[in-house]
Amino acid sequence: MQTTIYLIRHGQSQGNKQGVFLGHCDLPLTEQGIAQAQKTAAYLQTVPVDAIYASDLTRAYETACQTAILRDMPITKNENLREIYAGLWENVAFSALTETFSENYSCWLTNIGRARCNGGESVEELQTRIVSTLTDIAKRHEGQTVFVFTHATPIRVFAAHCLKKTVDEIKTVPWATNASVTKAIFDGNAFSLLEYSKDDFMGDWVTKFPANV
């Protein structure tokens, strides 16, 4: 039996607006981010769902709350759905990362699959964490549909995994936009990607990372 997973990136966060790198640093949504989350909740309203999961970081949980309120459903928090642990990059401006951690951040920009945040997690380690966590969730909800609210890098590396891309090919997968919807299925053995970063329902409210991320 197939399990359907909808991955939703959080709405615009204060960190996104300020242009800083947020890994586990915990900042809330902006007003625009809340509005985006509400648009996503409305878009998903006709999709039958059996469970809602979210990263325990505020920006992802607040995004999930908009959907959970409409559905009158609980949210299961899972810290393994967090963004990459950024170590010394946490809450540092993207422009400053280029100067202070030039070698590692250059790798992040040019071949992200090989990158490691200084003092933090590598992208490969994050991919292992996310794929393992989503596999566990899919197996727990065999034959059901699950919404998972998480972050940009987890969604990117998971999509690369679904597409059977190598570590060096993760860079070919673009960033998912804020509050966008990615859809995958799990057949009991492997994931397949059906849709990535759908955001046309957002209209003029779409926001994305700048070029220096």
Token digits of residue 172: 């070919």
Tokens 């393992």 correspond to 132
Task: Write the CB contacts of 64 (distance below 8 Å, at least 6 apart in sequence).
Answer: 8, 52, 53, 54, 75, 147, 149
Closest CA to 49 of 119, 170, 146, 148: 146
* pLDDT confidence of residue 72: 97
Domain ranges of the chain: 3-205
- For residues 121 and 87, the answer to whether their CB atoms sit within 8 Å is yes
Indicate yes or no: pTM above 0.85: yes
Distance of CA 86 to the CA centre of its chain: 15
Kindly state the average pLDDT of the residues 158-168: 98
Dihedral of CA atoms 21, 27, 33, 35 in degrees, nearest 10, equals 180
Do 165 and 172 meet the contact criterion of CB atoms below 8 Å apart?
yes
Q: pLDDT band for position 108 (50/70/90)?
A: very high
Q: For 186-196, write each residue's pLDDT tens digit.
A: 999 999 999 99
- Rounded to whole angstroms, the Cα distance separating 86 from 46 reads 36
3-205 fold? Rossmann fold (3.40.50)
Task: Give yes or no for a contact between 179 and 172, defined as CB atoms under 8 angstroms apart.
Answer: no
Residue 209: band (very low, low, confident or very high) from pLDDT cuts 50, 70, 90 = very high
